[in-house]
Amino acid sequence: MLPEFLDRLFYLVGEAVVLLALFVLLLSIFVALLILYSFKTGNFFAARIMLLGTTLLESVIKSLFWIAGADDAVVDDVGVRLRNYINRREFIKTPREQRFIFMPQCVRSTECPAKLTPEGIKCVNCGRCNVGEAKRYAESLGCRFFIVPGSSFIKRIIKKYRPRAIVGVGCSMEIKEGLDLCHSYAIPAQGVPLSKAGCVATTLDWEQFYEVISENK
Ligand code: SF4
């Protein structure tokens, strides 16, 4: 038989665990409702608190979506839009000439003749895909344009050139990781999600891409 004080201690710990679990559940439901609201309206309420909640409680919130039979990709989608929203004001203050653009290699044509170099894959604007025109336009604005050959590339370029702002194209997961990476270097970044993700011949909303890279204060 346990001494009375241990009995009491276990009881208090058990009570605290139940209360904490209840608190996490209620908070997750609250953040999940905020995510749904943002997804439907495009507005963000208490954006920074929402981002913190989404980051800390992501797996619980996704489970709630799953239980409710909703698509949990909404959580990633809103997470990216939320980060873009928070970064936007600083991003548009940065002159276009100091913006770096990172395009994933999967957007290229499968017959792309571009060669790999230490500065990424060098597009020769052969006309087989939209990347060539995007590069030409971005460089006409003064931006630096990179086609990313692998996951460590962006970090290496950030360390080498210290860009003032970044636009990254990718799937939700890549954008989330990229935006977190930029946040750790205090670089305001904007993510443009692929509209069709995958390993090859992916696509994106080019209008949205051009709008983001050319946005100015
Ligand atoms: S336009 Fe550039 S990226 Fe696209 S296929 Fe040609 S060389 Fe490759």
- Listed as ranges, residues in the chain with pLDDT below 50 are none
Look at residues 44, 177, 200 and name the one whose alpha carbon lies nearest to residue 191.
177
The ranges assigned to domains in the chain are 4-71, 94-214
CB-ligand 1 contact for 149 (6 Å cutoff): no
For atom 5 of ligand 1, the residue with the nearest CA is: 112
Right CATH number for 94-214 from 3.40.50, 1.10.20, 1.10.1670, 3.40.1630?
3.40.50
For 42, 80, 175, the CA distances from 35, given in Å and listed in that order, are 10, 11, 18
CB-ligand 1 contact for 112 (6 Å cutoff): yes
Question: What pLDDT, on the 0 to 100 scale, is given for residue 1?
Answer: 65
Question: What pLDDT, on the 0 to 100 scale, is given for residue 49?
Answer: 84
Strand partners of residue 147: 103
Report pTM.
0.83
